[in-house]
Every structure is written in structure tokens, then in C-alpha cells.
Amino acid sequence: MPFSHYPAAQSNRDCAAAGECGISSLVEMLASVTDPRKPRGRQHGIGFVLAVTVVAVLAGARTYSEIARRAADISQETLRELGAAWDWHGNRYRRPSKTVIRNVLTGIDGDEMDRITGRWLYENSGKDGGSEWEIAVDGKVMRGAWTAENDKVTLFSAMRHRDGVTIAQVGVPDGTDETTQAAALLKSVGSLGIPAGDDVLVTFDAAHTSRETAREVKKRPRFDYLMNVKGNRPWLLESVFAKMAPETRKPPADIMRERSRGQVRQWSCWITDAGGIDFPGASQAALILREIFEVSGQRVSKEIALMVTSRPPEKMTAADMNRNTRNHWGIENKNHYIRDTVYREDHNQTWTGNGPHVLAITRNLAISLMRRKGVKAIKETTEWIAADRARALQYMTT
């Protein structure tokens, strides 16, 4: 039976023609990545090889070998949808071999692919709501991957709070750490084409709280920061604590509660102006008391977080402070944790060329594609796709 008569393939082609759910946009985006191979002898286009890789990663593949094995099971109609070349001698669509996949992934410019995939995800994921963008920034060390200079591969990424989509990422050069790459990452975020009238809030953990990073954020119109303050900046910690201590004698300005797993979690926030705090652009300071209670009311634990932000009171209330501080940790829970548990990234000892960086990009892309469709159970979804590669197509649509 001709492939055009298969219901699944016909359905995908019809919705692609309607511009609703085809995968052509994703494949075209992947095809725009510079091909590292010489033109002579190519049997597969770069867009097709990368699309097959994304399907395999959506199915849970973690290494070159696993990607190749997942690719070997992709049906003929799915290969056609991905743009495979026809083999006239074998009378079938060709699949890329492990060697082809490895050569492509190790040779690609990771920074270029980060820019291309980040922009595509940004353009296809919509706004946070109104004219507001809330972005969490954090770094991740790939503990099993090493560079030629014997440094661990480290990546610095930016993720949208609302949906867990990674819209920007940069590699950290050897001999430096992620704290030196704030300017590069903010430049990538700024180059996405965010409308000039939109506000952008960038949230940081304590490792990235510094004067230099605050200045980099404030260089950009309508960009603001929200930073956690800890003992690595003792002068700032002392200033914020001294400012907030008198405020705690008053009732908290906002209380947020959540019941989960038989416990009650509560976040109480006090907020005031940042007058007297010598920090670039600082407008407000806050103290958040995090408490966990048993259902009976007995307190299990408490923790204090001190925060500083450049957002003025009319744009950052205590409720906003509570919400954004909590949502920042989504980059750990929605991205880094998934990469370490589902894809076992820290155990992956890939090291050749740009392979570690590009594999991390494909994982980010796969996770973001699932997040865009509202998926929360990432591991279960990869297992479901692994049973039938054609199921991946619904997550690759726009």
C-alpha cells in the first residue's frame, strides 16, 4: 500500500498543509543549522538527521548508540514525514546510521544551534501573559562530560517560568565558570526579538548575585532582575538583613500556602524599599520565610530567603515576589532534574567534539517540545513514545 494511504501520514500531511500541526516548521529550523560535513557523499540532509535525533530523544534515547537504535525502529511513513531520502535500490526511505548521527552531533557548532533552537522555541511558545516575560537563569555542569582541555562541560541556560521552555543557552568556555557568562546569555535572550514594550524579569540564584550581573541586566531597557542573597556576598547579605529585620515585626505582606503529600507548605513575604542598600539598580528588598507543617499544625522545618530586585513596587508586589522566587526553582525541577533522571546526563561520558553540548541541546529541545504540549510526566511520555516512534510527531508540531 502506498505510504500516502496510511491514515497517520495522511492526517499529519493534511494538518501540515493547513498550517496547524505539521512538523515542517521544526524540520526547516533544524535544516538551518550549519552542516559540519563535506558536501561530497552526503546521503541525508542535516535537518533530517537532527529531526530523527529529536524523535529518538523524545523516545528516551540518551547516547549515540541509543539514538541509532531508536532511529532503526522508525517506520517508513514517519521517516517520510521527517524528510527522508528515497533509496531507489532498496525501495524504501533511508535511515541515518550511528556513524552519521555521531559525526553530525559532534561537528555541529553548539552555540549556533542553541541560538537557532532557542529562537524557534521562543517564537512558537507565546507570551507569559500580557506584556510580561519571567525567565529563570541557572548553570548546569555535565559531570560525566569533559572537554579537550580536561574541564567539565558546563552550560548556562534561560528558561521561561510559566511553561518550562528553554529559550536560550550558552556554553561556558574552558577555564571560566558560569558566573562570567551572564552578559553572553542576556545577549542571547535580548536577541530573541522580545517586543520593545514588553517587560522582562530575570531571576537568579545566589551564585549569580553580583554587581556585574545586575549591571548587565539593567543595561537592557525594561529588563529587571530578582536575585537571591546569601553568604557568598556578605556585604550585601548584611545590608539586606539589616533592612528587613525591622519589617518582620509587622504582619507579612503576603502569605502563600500549598498542601502537598500530607504536608502544608507556607511562604510568608515581607517587602520594603531598598533605600540604603548599595547595589546597582536595587529598588526593593524582601524576606521570605518558608515553612513546612504537618496537617496537625506542627512545624517540620523553616528557612529564610533574602531577596533583592530592581523592580519598583508598582510592578513587583509581595505576592509577585513570593511567586517569582518560588517559580525560579522550576529550572531545576523542570529541566535539570529531568535531564539527570530521565536522560542520566551526569552519567553520560560523551566527550568528542561538540557532542556533549549538542546532546544537551537536543534534550532541552525534546523537554521543551513536551512542555509546550502541557506534558508534566516526562519520563512516562518518553516511554509511551518509545513504544511507537510515530507518536513523537504530535509533540513536534506547531
pLDDT exceeds 70 at position 9: no
> In Å, how far from its chain's centre is CA 337?
11
Instruction: Select, from the ranges 188-192, 280-284, 355-359, the one with the highest average predicted confidence (pLDDT).
Output: 280-284
Cβ neighbours for 263, distance < 8 A, ≥ 6 positions apart: 292, 293, 294, 295, 300
Q: Which helix (H) or strand (E) covers residue 247, if one does?
A: none
Please report which confidence band the pLDDT of residue 137 belongs to, taking 50, 70 and 90 as the band edges: very high
Residue 35: Cβ-neighbour burial (10 angstroms; 0-12, 13-18, 19+): middle
CATH class of 129-336: alpha beta
DSSP secondary-structure letter at 349? -
pTM, two decimals, is 0.87
Window from 108-112, 193-197, 336-340 with minimum mean pLDDT: 193-197
Binned at pLDDT 50, 70 and 90, residue 128 comes out as low
Reported confidence tier of residue 151, pLDDT bands at 50, 70, 90: low
Structure letter (DSSP) for residue 139: E
- Find the mean pLDDT for residues 88-97: 92
* H helix intervals, the chain: 7-17, 24-31, 46-58, 64-72, 76-82, 98-107, 110-123, 182-190, 211-218, 234-244, 318-328, 330, 337-341, 355-372, 378-386
Boundaries of every domain in the chain? 3-108+353-395, 129-336
> What is d(CA 397, CA 213) in angstroms, rounded to the nearest whole number?
36
Residue 300 near residue 263, CB atoms below 8 Å:
yes
Q: Place 175 in a pLDDT band, splitting at 50, 70 and 90.
A: confident
Query: What's the mean pLDDT in 15-23?
Result: 46
pLDDT digits (tens, 9 = 90+) for 244-271: 999 999 999 999 999 988 899 999 999 9
Q: Are strands 152-160 and 299-309 parallel, antiparallel or unpaired?
A: unpaired
Closest CA to 213 of 156, 143, 140: 156
**What's the pLDDT at 152?**
77
| Rounded Cα gap, residues 64 and 140, in angstroms | 21
